[in-house]
Every structure is written in structure tokens, then in C-alpha cells.
Amino acid sequence: MAKLNIPVESRTLTNGLRVVVSPDHTAPLVTVGVYYKIGFRLEPRGRSGFAHLFEHMMFQGSENAGKMEHIKLINSSGGVLNGTTHYDLTNYFEAVPSNALERVLWLEADRMRALKVDDENLRNQRDVVKEEVRVNVLNQPYGGFPWLDLPPVAFRNWANAHNFYGDFADLDAATLADVRAFFKTYYVPSNAALVIVGDVEPEEAFDLAKRQFEDISGGAQPATTDVNELPQTEERRGIVEEKFGTLPAVAIGYRAPARHTPEWYATALLDYALHAGRAGRFYRRLVQEQKLAVEVSGDTGDLIELNGPCQIVTHVFYKPEVTDSQILAAYDAVVEDARKNGIANPELEQIKVKFRSDFFSTLESGRGGFPRFGLLHYLACFTLFDGNPGLINTILERFMSVTAEQVRSVAEKYVVPAQRAIVFRLPAGRKAA
Amino acid sequence: MATPAPNPTRAQVPPLGTERPVVWPRRFRRTLANGLEVALVETRTIPKFTADLYIRSGNAVATLPGLAQMTATVARTGTSRRTSHQIEDALRGWGADLSISAGADTTSVAFAGLAEFARPLLDLVYEIVREASFSAEEFERERRQKIEGLRIDRTTPEFLAAERLRKVLFGAHSYADYAPTEQQVEAYSREALIAYYRENYAPANALLVGVGDFSADVMWKEIEGAFGDWKGAPPERAAEPEPPKSHGRHVYFVHLPGAVQTQIVVANMAITRRHPDWMRLALANNLFGGAFNSRLVRNIREEKGYTYSPRSSVHALRQHGFFSVSAAVRNDVVAAALTEIFYELDRIRALPVGEEELADTRSYMSGVFSLGLGTQDGIAGQLGGVLLDGLPEEYLEKYRERVRALQPSDVLEAARRYFDSPNAQIIVVGDGEAVAGQAALFGEMEKFDAQGNSI
């Protein structure tokens, strides 16, 4: 049941750019992504938020497509585009009618070859990014909770612990020279992957990729940055004041095991048992049965796109009359049960069915926006981090073969107080209790 | 732009290739004896299917604001045969997702799962729309959660702007109620939920759209088996008062103490998707501010850096539609941003668009309309939207040619009729001490607190 047969072909161009193609002729559409192995975890010290600011600069003009020309050429081809910055990667992607494929590749190659930006562009996008931070974090109830609140408490290595959206002083300090240096270091073909999904034959796609990208000079792969964390030996806690919202909230995160270890696969299923929807153990216990919480959710982040330290995180919004220690005690009871008894059948079998079903949905992903973006995203991550896009057809089996004992053992070993970080987000005026 | 951008060396931009035909998949449509309309599409992109059961009633016909939403929420928490836990365990074991929600006009039960478990999932959906138990315990729990949720909503700029906008545009019409007050939620009763459910959850008031890895003939039989016994006549609809006419610009200021950014919405009444002007309005909207490559985005984001996410939208409810321009801007440019928004509105109303800008927007619209074709969700969304709005299903096939026929005069006419700059209603949500003075420059101003009280 977990066997997949998604067609995937890949090549590496002479400059080191990896090209991956998955043909599908269901509709005359292609989704294209260029992924760079640089995310906010790796941005320079003193330049918090720079990887994301830089992502904005990639839309500000390249050698042959000036400001707004890139966007205009995609939109007027009948397509949509975006870029996003993550912990360990930054991606740029487009969905277009398949007759616009070469144009999309031309545009992506043009900005991989030579960014052409000036101080005015930088000032403009710095302003835009500040409004992005305000609309998503500073002017929203629970903005940045827990994704910006937890890392500084949980981690000690600056790479993992700093403000990824950027302190405004750091954004202000960024210069055009920083932009050029960052581009030169990280935006080289050998640090990137080009993925094309949809209505194209692989040979045609490779020819087009070669024509557009192969003359971009290679450049050395960037040096690896140390993102490791020392082992954690005691619980870490923090409190952040909530400026707008009316409910107390808490996030609890535990270190997750390393990528592709057997424990990593088991963690994904443990996460499902604890967090997946209204059947998840925390929702059931804290919201439905004990009625202490108003909302509970949690996850590990998208494990496939994380290439460094990460956490399995639960966040709880609880009723104002419930004390902080009450909610933690109720939370701990759920955790203790999982540590002691694991996740037995039929629960584990149900979870596997849901996991498999969700995996298929992820491959299609999105109501029309970027068709099959999920497939493209996974292919890119498997290429950049594992050197093996073929994992798309085999990885589901690894998740499906996790045993109840493995889940219990991962809970026992990783979900322990000494390895967790807790951040309360408390409305102004509420005393921690 | 302040610095004119160099044009790309045109010779280097690869031309578009030959367009491959866009073919919307065949629809299987039939109606059950009890009146339930069914539309099915076979597509085997993944071994799953996705479906939406739409009930053509929503909060606009409920006895209290938001009561249709609460009915939907509680309906999912238990049936005469299953407890909430049993429902959730069953869904998980079928690899299924189910969500149920009610907007102004429609209640939607969205469900998706592995193709192999289609029948038990259909049976569960039937139970939820026919045999929900409305347990007192679940109702009380959901009600409390709703109240806590509303308290947080009333600290959210987008919510406060939308809530005020609906009151301003719709007056005595039930579309004015974007969300209930806490007191209204307190006034909900289990009996009122059940009465709403009995009256509106009827097969002759419903549409089921299913897309996925199945044979339509087999799926039709499964649907007949699952929903054949559902009974009930469509509800009667009471007449609604007309929304008020606007005369001149007015400013409605919602004070959110401590806000470090200001949410702006400029809006006016427009039309529904069934109106003959809909296509030209949609085009005018995309050109104005609906796409990334649009005038509004170029101006207040890419030239001036006032905002991250400016957008204009056409909202089509069943009885009425409206047009809105929104942007969250930094506090010191509220007046500047409003000035630019009105500049762009007045410009598109006054001057015809050029051929290239028009052609670009036409291509954008016709391309983006077809992006849904590649996935089950995408097809379900487009088909559901067309059928729910009572449009002929050929709308899907004809859309592209209709877009391509639009001319500069269509944009001008649509903008003059539906971008009603002289009578626009302006909603501003921000810290009054920091920005109310700037907002007041644009019309007679009324001020409110986050609870909706005049201040």
C-alpha cells in the first residue's frame, strides 16, 4: 500500500546545478521551483532576518529583467509565483501553463546568474519586510507564537536561536554589500536544485535547463556552518508578554532525533498520535475531556525540509481561570502515559492510515494555487539534503514500518523534561502561577 | 517607479510555446429522488477523493448571528450512533479529513479520504447532516470556546476591519453580521440549533460535489445508498431589506490601543457572480489590485514600501457583492496610503487602459483560472463554486474565451460602475492617538472601540 511509482529523473549540470523532473500530463501546467540550500538558520551574525530580506531582493531585478519585469512576465504568462524562506532552504517557485516553461527557466536563470539591485530597491524592500513583520507578528495577537518565541529559549547556538524574521536594527544595518556577498556565497548553481513537475517530458526539460542554466559559472559550494547544539541537561523556560490576546498560552518543545535515523521516523508517528487533529491525544484530553484548554495543536514542523536541530512542539491556549501549573500538569499526564505505554494498536494502525493518506495529499497540495507543489518541495529537499530525489517513492514505507516499540522508545528517550523548553505567552497583567 | 526599471532585452525573453488545450474533465451530474444534486468528476492523480456537501443555507438565515456556524460545529461532535471520539477515530482510520463550517449563504461539509474508504465516509457524513445528537455537553464546551475565540478575534485588525465593513455596507440586511457578539453566543440554545438544523439540512437544499479516484457510476450508487433515505423540503426564504445607499465618503475608525500598524479597507457595494458585468469587473479588479503585477501593488508596495500585502478583491455573496481595497500600512503613512489608493481608483475610472496592460491581465486571468485543473482539490473548488453560484457548468469551458474578448472599454465601464471612489466607505483600524488624525482627512469620521461601541 505504501509503494509509490512517481516518475522521477535527475541530472547534474556541469556547473553543479541539480535538475529533477517529474512528468505528469494530467493538465497543461508546470510547477517549477529553484531551491537554494540557505535558510535563516545560516544567515550571518548581526544580520538577523537577512536570509528573508534577501529573498525579497531576488524579486527586485536581475541582469535582463528589471524590477517588476520578472513578476509581470510570470503573471502575463498566466501564472503565479512566490518565494519563501525556511530554516535550511530558500525557494522560488512558479506555476504556469506549460507553454511558458522556457520563459520561467530563463527568468530563474537570469537571477541565478546576476542579480541587479540598488540601494533604492534595498530601502524599499526593507520597508516592505518591516510591514510583513508587523502584519504577521508585531500587530497580531500571538504573533510569532511559538515559532519565534521558542528557539531563543530552546537553543544555545546562535544559528538556531536567533530572531529569524529579523530585529529591525539588524534589517536597518543590512547593506548592498551584504546582499552581494550573500548572493555570491550561497546563490551558486552547486548550492541549488531546479525541480520541474508537470506537463513536460524529461528530455525536453533537461535540454531547456541546460540551455538556460549551464553557462552560469559554478562557484564553490559554501562552507558548512556548525548548527549543532550541545546536549541539553535541564529544562529551559521563558515568558513572553502577550500584548493583544486575552488567553494565556504555552508552548512546549522537545529536541527531535536526527534526520533519517530510525527514531526520526518514529517521531513523526508519535507527533501524529499526540497532535493530529481532534483525534490527537492532547486535544482529546485537554480540550474535550478536561476542558482546560480552548485550543491545542502541535507538530514537528515539516521534517522533510529540516536539515538541522528541530523540535516536536505542542502549543496550548488555555482558559484564563486555569493556572499555568494546572495546564502543565495536565499536559504532563498525557506525555507520561505515552512514555510509559507507547502508542498501541489500533491507534498506531489508524495513525498510519492517516499518515499515508496525508502524504498523498501533500504531494498534490493546495487548492489550485501551485498544483503539486508538495511533490516539488519534497523532491527538492531530498535532492539538497539527501542527494536522492528517489526517496519520494520509498520514504513512505519507512514511516509505515515503524513499530509500536519504536514509538514508545522514542517517547521515553526524547520526550523528557530535561530536554524540553517551555515558553509561556501571557496576557499583560497576568502573573505566572 | 521612482527609478525607471530597464526593460529586459526583449529578444532574450523566450516566447511562449504553442498553447496546449485546456480540457475540463467530464462531469457526471444527476439528482437523487429526494432532491440532492450530485456532481462527480473522475481523476486519478492520487488514490484519494475529495468532496464537498454544500447546504444552501448559512448564517444569513439563522435566528441569531453565527448560529448556523455553531450548528455546524456541534453537529460534528456526535450523532445518534457515534460519540465525538468514535467519529474522530473512524476518520483517522480511513485516512480522512472532515470539516464543517457555515458562511453567510452556505454550510459546507468538506471531506476527503482514501478512495478505498469512500462508502463508510459517506455514511458518516450522512449521519452528521441527518442524525446529529447535539449533546448538551459538547454544545456548552463549543460555546465557551467560541466566546474565548471571539475575544481574541476582537484584538485582530483584519477581523475588526471586516466586522465594521459589513455593518457599514449592509445596514439592516443580515449580511451586516460578520460575527456574533458574546451576548448573542450566550443566547444560543441547543433547541435553536436543532430547529435550524431540522429546517435547513435538507436534501433538496443541498449539492454534493465529489472529485477523485473512483468510477462515477460506482460512486453514484454509493451516494444513493448513503443519502437515499435523507428527507426534507427546502426551507422558505424571507425577503431581506435592501442595503443602504452610500452618499459621499465616510470614515469608520476602530480604535485598537497599542497597534503598531494600521489596517485600511476602502469598499463599496458591487455585484454578484451572476451579474452580466461580472467578468469585466473581475478583469478590472485583477488589473487594479487583484494580482501581484497590478497597479495597487506596484504603487504602494514596490514603489513606496508602505505595506507588505495590499490587495483588492471582489466579494460575491448570494444576494449582493462588494468591492474592497485593503492594506496594512505603517502608522506614519495612513494618509499617504489612502491618497494613493484614491489616486489609483480615480485613474482607472478616468483613463482607458493600454493594450499591453489589458492583454497581460487577460492572460493572467485565463491562465490562473486553469491552474486548478492539475489537482483534485482544484477541480472540486472550481466546479463547486460554479454550481453553487447557479452558473451553467459550461462556464468552466467558456471562461477563457470570455476573458479574451474583454476590451479597454469593459475595464473603464466596470471601474466607473463598481469602483465607487466618490462614495467609498473607509474603515481604519489602528491606534487612535497615533493615526486617527490622518484618517479624519478623508471624510466625516465615526469612532468605535473594539467591542463595536461608539466612542
Q: Which candidate, B117, B320, B159, B144, places its Cα nearest to that of A1?
A: B117
Q: Are residues B320 and B364 located together in one domain of the fold? A: yes
Q: Are residues B131 and B254 located together in one domain of the fold? A: no
Output the pTM of the full model: 0.96
Q: Are residues B211 and B290 located together in one domain of the fold? A: no
- Nearest CB to B367; choose among A78, A123, A360: A78
Q: Give the three-state DSSP class for A422.
A: strand
**Rounded distance between C-alpha atoms, residue A102 and residue A89, angstroms:** 24
Q: Are residues B304 and B202 located together in one domain of the fold? A: no
Cβ separation B95–A353 shorter than 8 A: yes
**DSSP 8-state class, residue A199:** S
* Within a domain: B8: no
Q: Give the three-state DSSP class for B421.
A: helix
Instruction: Kindly give the confidence (pLDDT) of every residue in chain B, 455 residues in length, as a single tens digit, with 9 standing for 90 and above.
Output: 344 444 444 458 999 999 899 999 999 999 999 999 999 999 998 999 999 999 999 999 999 999 999 999 999 999 999 999 999 999 999 999 999 999 999 999 999 999 999 999 999 999 999 999 999 999 999 999 999 999 999 999 999 999 999 999 999 999 999 999 999 999 999 999 999 999 999 999 999 999 999 999 999 999 999 999 999 999 998 899 999 999 999 999 999 999 999 999 999 999 999 999 999 999 999 999 999 999 999 999 999 999 999 999 999 999 999 999 999 999 999 999 999 999 999 999 999 999 999 999 999 999 999 998 989 999 999 999 999 999 999 999 999 999 999 999 999 999 999 999 999 999 999 999 999 999 999 999 999 999 999 99
Contact assessment for residue B141 and residue B190, using Cβ atoms and an 8 Å cutoff? no
pLDDT average, residue stretch A81-87: 96
Q: Are residues B179 and B119 located together in one domain of the fold? A: yes
- Closest residue, chain B, to A355 (C-alpha): B95
CATH class of A236-427: alpha beta
Q: Write out chain B residues lying below 8 Å of A350, CB-based.
A: 89, 92-93
**Rounded distance between C-alpha atoms, residue B378 and residue B211, angstroms:** 9
Q: Are residues B394 and B265 located together in one domain of the fold? A: yes
Give the pLDDT confidence of A109-149 residue by residue, as tens digits.
Answer: 999 999 999 999 999 999 999 999 999 999 999 999 999 99
Q: Write out chain B residues lying below 8 Å of A354, CB-based.
A: 92-93, 95-96
* Per-position DSSP letters for B2-49, written without gaps between them: -SPPPPP-GGGSPPP-PPPPP-PPPPEEEE-TTS-EEEEEE--SSSEE
How large is the angle between the packed helices B432-439 and B334-350, nearest 10 degrees?
30
Q: Which candidate, B227, B273, B216, B280, places its Cα nearest to that of B413?
A: B280
A225 burial class (0-12, 13-18, 19+ CB within 10 angstroms)? Answer: middle
Cβ separation A368–B371 shorter than 8 A: yes
**DSSP 8-state class, residue B78:** B
Owning domain of residue B293: 250-448
Give the pLDDT confidence of A16-32 residue by residue, as tens digits.
Answer: 999 999 999 999 999 99
Residues 258 to 277 of B: which have CB under 8 A from any A CB? 258-261
Q: Which candidate, A143, A293, A322, places its Cα nearest to that of B155?
A: A143
Q: Are residues B191 and B304 located together in one domain of the fold? A: no
Phi, psi for A297 (deg, rounded to 5): -150, 180
Q: Give the distance from residue A168's alpha carbon to the nearest chain B alpha carbon, in angstroms.
A: 13
Domain residue spans in chain A?
9-213, 236-427
B232's grid cell: 426534507
pLDDT average, residue stretch A296-320: 96
Degrees to nearest 5, angle at CA A46 with A40 and A48: 30
Q: Does domain A9-213 have CATH number 3.30.830.10?
A: yes
Q: Give the distance from residue B147's alpha carbon to the nearest chain A alpha carbon, in angstroms.
A: 10
Q: Are residues B212 and B273 located together in one domain of the fold? A: no
Residues 90 to 149 of A: which have CB under 8 A from any B CB? 95-103, 106, 118, 120, 123-132, 134-135, 138-142
* Within a domain: B257: yes
Q: Are residues B205 and B277 located together in one domain of the fold? A: no
Which pLDDT value is given to residue A368? 55
**Rounded distance between C-alpha atoms, residue B193 and residue B74, angstroms:** 9
Q: How far does CA A363 lie from the centroid of its chain?
A: 15
User: Which residues partner with A84 through β-bridges?
Assistant: A91
Which pLDDT value is given to residue A224? 86
pLDDT bracket for residue A2 (50, 70, 90): low
* Within a domain: B256: yes
Q: Write out chain B residues lying below 8 Å of A288, CB-based.
A: 84-85, 141
**Rounded distance between C-alpha atoms, residue B97 and residue A366, angstroms:** 15
Which pLDDT value is given to residue B228? 97
Q: Give the distance from residue A244's alpha carbon to the nearest chain B alpha carbon, in angstroms.
A: 6
pLDDT bracket for residue A366 (50, 70, 90): low
Residue type, A129: V
Q: Give the distance from residue B234's alpha carbon to the nearest chain A alpha carbon, in angstroms.
A: 30
- Nearest CB to B308; choose among A96, A135, A199: A135
Tell whether A350 is within 8 A of chain B (Cβ). Answer: yes
Cβ separation B371–A371 shorter than 8 A: yes
Give the pLDDT confidence of A251-262 residue by residue, as tens digits.
Answer: 999 999 999 999
**Last residue of a domain, which of B192, B227, B262?**
B227
Q: Write out chain A residues lying below 8 Å of B149, CB-based.
A: 294
**Rounded distance between C-alpha atoms, residue A8 and residue A358, angstroms:** 21
Q: Are residues B134 and B207 located together in one domain of the fold? A: yes
Q: Write out chain B residues lying below 8 Å of A141, CB-based.
A: 152, 155-156
CA A192 to each of CA A221, A223, A380, A385: distance values in angstroms, whole numbers, following the listed order: 10, 14, 9, 11
Give the pLDDT confidence of A52-78 residue by residue, as tens digits.
Answer: 999 999 999 999 999 999 999 999 999
**Contact pairs from chain A to chain B, CB under 8 Å:** 269
Instruction: State how many domains chain B has.
Output: 2
- Does the structure show a pLDDT above 70 at A383? yes
* Within a domain: B359: yes
Q: Which candidate, B261, B263, B324, B315, places its Cα nearest to that of B289?
A: B324
Contact assessment for residue B287 and residue B352, using Cβ atoms and an 8 Å cutoff? no
For chain A, what is the mean pLDDT?
95
Contact assessment for residue B294 and residue B282, using Cβ atoms and an 8 Å cutoff? no
Cβ separation B261–A125 shorter than 8 A: no
Phi, psi for A198 (deg, rounded to 5): 130, -145
Q: Are residues B153 and B257 located together in one domain of the fold? A: no
Q: Are residues B129 and B207 located together in one domain of the fold? A: yes
Q: For position B306, which CATH number holds?
A: 3.30.830.10
**Rounded distance between C-alpha atoms, residue B88 and residue B99, angstroms:** 11
A236-427 matches A9-213 in CATH topology: yes
Which pLDDT value is given to residue B1? 35
Q: Give the three-state DSSP class for B454.
A: strand
